[in-house]
Amino acid sequence: MSPLKTTALEQRKKGLTAKERLVLQMIDYADIVEETYESSCFMKKSQLILLVSNEYRNDIPVVDSKILMARLIDLSELPSADRNIIREDWQIIADKVRRGLAHELSGSDTTYLEACTKGMDGSHMVKQPNSQIPAKPRAFALKSGYVTSLVREWLNDLGSLAITDDTEVAARGFERTIIERFSTYIGLTTDEIEVLLGIELDPSAKGYRATLARRMLGVSTKNVEEFDRSGISMKTILIDEQGRPPESMSFPVFRYMGPGSVLEEDWESDEDEEIPRIKRILEDTRFLFVVFQRYSGMIRLKEVRFWSMSGADIETYVKPVWEATRKNIELGILPDLPKGSFNGVCHVRPHAANKKDTFPTPLNGNQVKKCFWLDRRYIQRQLSGPEQLPLT
């Protein structure tokens, strides 16, 4: 009998979107180290899934929500590229557990299939093989973006794929395949890249370098389907001749009060709706940095690399900033929100269109919108490691 799973779909600008990841089954750390993908408990229990999707509306109880569709998902009948990516994801998770690193598992490790935290609260830990360090209990889950892609495929509403040759992922893996798309263009100026691509873009247009990066991937639309599915965020970075990024990296603005605000979040929770948004983004997002460098009056493509913020950095640097932000909002001392000098990695500052672009606060009236930022010096350090291109 196929397991029954449910997912809530929300109508957004881009169409029906899965509200959350689709949790499949718990990961048994002791068993997975002895398994192969084909013989795994994951394949035995989750190869065939009956997915029932209901309409999410915040004004209607779940029991009264409309059923939008019910489909049988057979992992063995997914497109070949998807099957290869999910297999690679499972292998990444299994290999990490085999190396005694279950405590370092993160949603950003993988592309479509992830190991999400699952427990009563964030303090619950379990034993893992090959290490004395306890790990959080985790479950296999299909990322919300991938579930969204399945729904849109059923509705014939998919975007443009960067990888159209299924054998590439099987031979090289997903990330290496994406990285190699850029290999031809490393060291070239933006003008030379346009000539090689046979296109003419407006360098003064907003998002020019992002558009150019997508065209190097072979995608002419604003979205790369695989990135939407996996939660990959492509960031184009322009550094100066000394390798310094001009600005820090911003994240979505946060609310000071009310539903979804910092005050309603719980750092230790395993529930998606309670986990701080900044924590969820950093734990789940794999960033693709496409780095351009200004040199002698020209801009060249310098390097391309995938990057995720480590769990240690999130706990050491981001958590204290979130805690201080929450405390200062509660006390009404907004001038004391963590500034750039707080720890050199994460801080809070305005991220608004103008002074009138505000959110209400509990004790300080309406205040300009703010967000969490990663310091540009920290980003520079992440770019100073071994380059991922050129590949050998």
Residues 225 and 126 in one domain: no
- The reply to whether 232 falls in a domain is yes
- The reply to whether 391 falls in a domain is no
Burial class (CB in 10 A: 0-12, 13-18, 19+), 56: buried
Residues of the chain with pLDDT > 70, as a percent, come to 95
Structure letter (DSSP) for residue 21: -
- The domain spanning residue 249 has which CATH number? 3.40.600.10
Residues 77 and 184 in one domain: no
Residues 366 and 298 in one domain: yes
SS3 content of the chain, % helix, strand, coil (to 5): 35, 25, 40
Residues 151 and 190 in one domain: no
pLDDT tens digits, 83-99: 999 999 999 999 999 99
- The reply to whether 207 falls in a domain is yes
Q: Are 63 and 55 in contact (CB under 8 A)?
A: no
Instruction: Report the 3 state secondary structure along 165-199.
Output: CHHHHHHHCHHHHHHHHCHHHCCCEHHHHHHHHCC
Burial class (CB in 10 A: 0-12, 13-18, 19+), 10: middle
Which of 95, 129, 157 terminates a domain? The answer is 157
Is residue 158's pLDDT more than 90? no
pLDDT tens digits, 98-117: 999 999 999 999 999 999 98
pLDDT tens digits, 191-202: 999 999 999 999
Three-state DSSP state, 40: coil
Q: Phi and psi at residue 281, in whole multiples of 5°?
A: -65, -50
Rounded Cα–Cα distance for residues 312 and 293 (Å): 29
Residues 126 and 219 in one domain: no
- Alpha carbon of residue 269 to chain centroid: 19
Three-state DSSP state, 329: helix
Residues 139 and 184 in one domain: no
Rounded Cα–Cα distance for residues 57 and 349 (Å): 32
- The reply to whether 169 falls in a domain is no
Residues 237 and 276 in one domain: yes
- The reply to whether 162 falls in a domain is no
Q: Are 75 and 43 in contact (CB under 8 A)?
A: yes
pLDDT tens digits, 242-298: 888 888 999 999 999 999 999 999 998 888 788 999 999 999 999 999 999 998 889
Rounded Cα–Cα distance for residues 6 and 49 (Å): 10
- Where are any strands of DSSP class E within the chain? 4-12, 15-18, 22-26, 48-55, 67-74, 113-117, 138-142, 232-239, 249-254, 286-295, 298-307, 346-350, 358-360, 366-368, 370-374
Over the range 193-207, which residues count as b (16 or more CB within 10 Å of their CB) and which as e? bbeeeeeebeeeeee
Which of 112, 129, 157 terminates a domain? The answer is 157
Residues 41 and 84 in one domain: yes
Instruction: Report the 3 state secondary structure along 260-287.
Output: CCHHHCCCCCCCCCCCCHHHHHHHHCEE
Residues 6+ apart with CB under 8 A from 259: none
The pTM of the full predicted model, rounded to 2 decimals, is 0.83
Q: How many CB atoms lie within 10 A of CB 38?
A: 8
Burial class (CB in 10 A: 0-12, 13-18, 19+), 18: buried
- The reply to whether 163 falls in a domain is no
Is residue 212's pLDDT more than 60? yes
Confidence bin at 121 (pLDDT 50/70/90):
low
What does the angle CA 301 – CA 302 – CA 306 come to, to the nearest 5 degrees? 100
Residues 257 and 353 in one domain: yes
Q: In what order do the strands lie in the sheet containing 67-74?
A: 15-18, 4-12, 48-55, 67-74
Residues 39 and 188 in one domain: no
Q: Domain limits at 195?
A: 174-382
Domains contained in the chain, number: 2
- The reply to whether 274 falls in a domain is yes
What does the pLDDT read at residue 223? 87
